Amino acid sequence: MKRIFTLTLGLVLAVAVQAQETYRKSWDFTKWSAETVENLKAESAKGPSTGAWSDVEKKDATQPTEASKDNCFWEVTHQGTAEGTTIQANGMPIAELEGLLYTNTTDRSLAIAVNYPGPDPSSSFGPYKGASYLWFGGSKKNYFVIPHVAPGTIIKMGVESHKVTDARGVNLYLGHGTSGTQLKDPEGNSVAAPTEYTDQEWLVPTDATDTPNEDGTYDIQIYNTNGCHIYYITVGDGDSPAVEDAKKVAYVAASEDPGLDGDFAWFYVSSMSGVEPTVILSSTTPSVADLQAYDLVIISSTVQASDAIVPVLKSAIAYEPVLNFNAALYEAWGLGKAVATDATVATVKNAENELFENIDVTAGLVMQNSVGITGVSLGEYFANDDILATAGEVVAIHKHNPARNAYMLLPYTTEAFADADQDVLSAILTNAIDIVASTKKDITATPAPSIVQDNLNGLTIVVISDVNAAATIHYTVDGSDPTANSPVYTDALSFTSPATVKAIAFLDGYNPSNITTAEVAIYSQAAEPSIEVAQNGAESTVTITAEEGLNIYYNFTGNADAAKSQAYTEPIVLTEPTYVYAFTTANEKLNSVIASRYVAIATLNAQTIRLDTIAHFDASVGPWFVDGTENADSLGNGKNSAYYFWGTTSQTQRH
């Protein structure tokens, strides 16, 4: 029996370990990808009323602070469930959080700091370990569940209090919620909340009485004590390094053996591990689809502006990752102009950018030793790009479409490659190739625009919108299919006669959308009805008339919906005063404006009214007390009594 038990336990643990290997084991919140940041920005651009994320921190604020703009994003509309879900931004899972089950169900208590500068040193907040982290803002909440962790596993986290004068951190529990066993450190001690950054450890117990998952593992709930930052989570030894396939690189050059032309860049690229370069001659004209078969296109400085492939390369920008060494092509593309400088050191705009990882840029980026940097002045297409480095007043390095099929300029001429600091050159080339190639995305169509009509009397207003604010919408009103040459939609369109409106959306890096079509109709408005009232003692008769052929509806609330009103067929007899509202409808017409009339009852006046008007009472105290010494208290105030009054001046008139 003992042997059977041992075998059974071993089988359970084996199954647990096997299951555990199928789940993610490590998360790093200090390096948010360009795609994640772009999705957070896109979500924030929708506004707090429609987006799930916003860089506006305070609920009652309308604009982000200078520090928070594009640097920190708050989840303004929660996505979490008690069971846990994958958290998203802009309709896409946030890659850095995948594998964690989000269980927080409170708005504005989770934030993602992607590059959030520290607070005023004189405050009780900060200094912090870094500018990028996962921020648990609300206190005593269940935030995430780490699924399927085997007993005996150590969980590590980098934790930091948001307010350094207070001890704040997280507690871990078996299961979902906080009813399960609370985890302790490997020595069996409680894990105390820190006041400053601390690497902390918890041990998943092997002797817990809690009910495990079917595979013998436990889900682990992360619960915070108060506002704190999490920099990383590691389960056990973490995930094994991902083994990537070699990057397929199209190297566009003037000859089949670029090295013979003194193309030093080719020597670097062709000798890099994890890169499989294929030379594409600049005298050829491959299609953009041909180039999309590669993970990355590199443009050599040996390519001439007059070469046949140059227009194809322009068309590939935003549809295929492109790394360009050749500033001379900008003028041929119509996207800017090359500008030679005497500077050999570029000024780096953000030393924390991933392009400069493992490079000391304290004194700038040494790109050459004697040959000046040839930078570019950017045209309209690149005008809003991320500027990573400058040479004097000239752009030296910039990045376009950072989240998908990115384009980057690294202005190294053939001479500059030979003249450059080889250690810096090797590091920045490796980083640039990894960064740009990692943005490879399939080309999809941008969503089709929507067309909404607002019908007025003889006039129809048409509003065209797109889910992506960056898209450009082109339209036609004559029934023809719109193209990129059709008028650009900028504001609502007005029509006084029927028309066919068609719209299409274009977005850099996407295929054109499907065409949306709407038939614009013009309607006249039905004539307003007339309401007449005849008073006859204790009742009044309401008669409603309208033009022949119109349907009459009435109600006592001012509603304009026929489904929530009564059809008028005969005069209405009322015994209580009220307002009557009426409107007309007809086929192919808009509903009329609403007519209204107050209906009084002749016998109801200040002497006879018996209506309970409590609902209309003023909030002042006076009307609720009765004057008269027989009801007055010792202070001379009337006692609390409810009576019927006509106005607040007839307090002594009781009914």
Q: Indicate the pairing of strand 296-299 with strand 247-253.
A: parallel
In a 3-state reduction of DSSP, which class is residue 212? coil
pLDDT for 121:
61
What average pLDDT does the segment 531-542 reach? Answer: 95
Mean pLDDT of 150-157: 97
Is pLDDT at 464 greater than 60 in this prediction? yes
Rounded to 10 degrees, what is the CA torsion of 148, 154, 158, 159? 80
Provide the 8-state DSSP code for 94.
-
Model confidence at 335: pLDDT above 90: yes
Mean pLDDT of 3-10: 35
Confidence of residue 17 (pLDDT cuts 50, 70, 90): very low
Q: Provide mean pLDDT across the span 498-521.
A: 94
- Give the domain ranges of the chain: 2-235, 247-437, 450-522, 525-599, 605-655
525-599 topology per CATH: Immunoglobulin-like (2.60.40)
Query: Do 247-437 and 525-599 agree at the fold level?
Result: no
Confidence band, pLDDT 50/70/90 cuts, at residue 607:
low
Q: Looking at the predicted structure, is the pLDDT value of residue 250 above 70?
A: yes
Q: The CATH number of 450-522 is which of 2.60.40.10, 1.10.630.10, 3.40.50.1010, 2.40.37.10? A: 2.60.40.10
pLDDT digits (tens, 9 = 90+) for 275-307: 999 999 999 999 999 999 999 999 999 999 999
Residue type, position 114, single letter: V
Topology at the third CATH level for domain 247-437: Rossmann fold (3.40.50)
pLDDT(584) > 60 = yes
Predicted pLDDT at 195: 92
pLDDT value at residue 488: 96
Which token pair is 84? 């846990």
Which pLDDT value is given to residue 118? Answer: 72
Could you tell me where the beta strands, DSSP code E, fall in 379-449? 386-391, 394-400, 407-409
For tokens 């953000």, name the residue: 350
Average pLDDT over residues 450-464: 94
pLDDT-derived band at 7 (thresholds 50, 70, 90) equals very low
DSSP 216-276: S-EEEEEEESSSEEEEEEEETT-PPPP-PPPEEEEEEESSSSGGGGT-HHHHHHHH-TTEE
* Run of H or E including 474: strand 472-476
Greater model confidence, 164 or 291: 291
Q: Among 61-65, 73-77, 277-281, where is mean pLDDT lowest?
A: 61-65
pLDDT at 640: 47
Distance, in Å, from the CA atom of 110 to the CA atom of 484, rounded to the nearest integer, reads 41
The more confidently predicted of residues 621 and 416 is: 416
Distance CA 244, CA 10 (A): 34
